[in-house]
Amino acid sequence: MTKINFELFFPALRPWVMNLVNVWPAYIIKPQYANWEVLHILSLTLLGGTAILMNLRLLGRGITEESPSEVYRNLRRWQDVGVIGIVVSGILIGMANAEKLYDSTAFVVKMCALLGGVILTYGASRPVARADGAVPVSARLWFILGGLIWLAGLVIFATGTLVNVGLYHVIFAAALIVLIAAQGRLRWIFLIGLLVIFAVHQWVTHVTYADPFDLKHLDPANKVFTWIYVVWIAAAAAAQTFMASRNKATPALAKLIAWSTILVWVTGAAAGRWIAFE
Partner 1 sequence: MTWLQHGLGKGSGDTAQSWSEALLGSLNFWGLLEGTHLLALMLFAGTIFVVDLRLLGVTFRKTPVSVVSDRVLPMTVAGFLILLATGLALFFAKPMFYYHNLWFRAKMIFLVLAMINIAVFHSQVQRGQSAWDNHPTPPGPARISAIVSLVSWILVIGLGRFIPYDWFQCGKPVPHWANVLQDCKTSEKGAYEKTAETAIKGAQS
Residues that bind partner 1 (CB under 8 A): 34, 37-38, 41-42, 44-53, 62-66, 70, 74-75, 78, 165-166, 168-169, 172-173, 176, 180, 212, 265-266, 269-270, 273-274, 277
3-state helix, strand, coil in the chain (%, to 5): 80, 0, 20
Closest separation between CB of residue 2 and partner 1, Å? 22
User: Mapping DSSP to helix (H, G, I), strand (E, B) and coil, where does residue 248 land?
Assistant: coil
CA 198 – CA 201 distance, rounded (Å): 5
| Choice between 65 and 211, CB closer to partner 1 | 65
C-alpha of 253 from chain center = 19
Closest approach of Cβ 194 to partner 1, in Å?
Answer: 15
Q: How many residues make up the chain in this entry?
A: 278
Closest separation in Å from C-beta 85 to partner 1: 12
Exposed/middle/buried for 213, CB within 10 Å: 0-12, 13-18, 19+?
exposed
Q: What is the DSSP letter of 246?
A: S
Separation between Cα atoms, residue 111 and residue 99, nearest integer Å: 15
**Separation between Cα atoms, residue 244 and residue 250, nearest integer Å:** 9
CB of 75 or CB of 112, closer to partner 1: 75
Report, in Å, the least distance between residue 148 CB and partner 1: 24
Which of residues 40 and 255 has its CB atom nearest to partner 1 in the complex? 40
Residues 6+ apart with CB under 8 A from 52: 62, 262
- Compute the chain's Rg from CA coordinates: 20
- Could you check whether the bond before residue 15 is cis, i.e. omega within 30 degrees of 0? no
Minimum CB–partner distance for residue 82 and partner 1 (Å) = 8
Least Cβ distance, residue 173 to partner 1 (angstroms): 7
Residue with Cβ nearer partner 1 (41 or 145) = 41
Taking the complex as a whole, the smallest distance from the CB of residue 105 to partner 1 amounts, in Å, to: 15
Closer residue to partner 1, CB minimum distance, 137 or 211: 211
User: By C-beta, is 74 or 159 nearer to partner 1?
Assistant: 74
For residue 6, the one-letter residue type is: F
Q: List, as one string, the DSSP characters of 94-128.
A: HHTTHHHHHT-HHHHHHHHHHHHHHHIIIIIIHHH
Output 134 or 180, the one with its CB closest to partner 1: 180
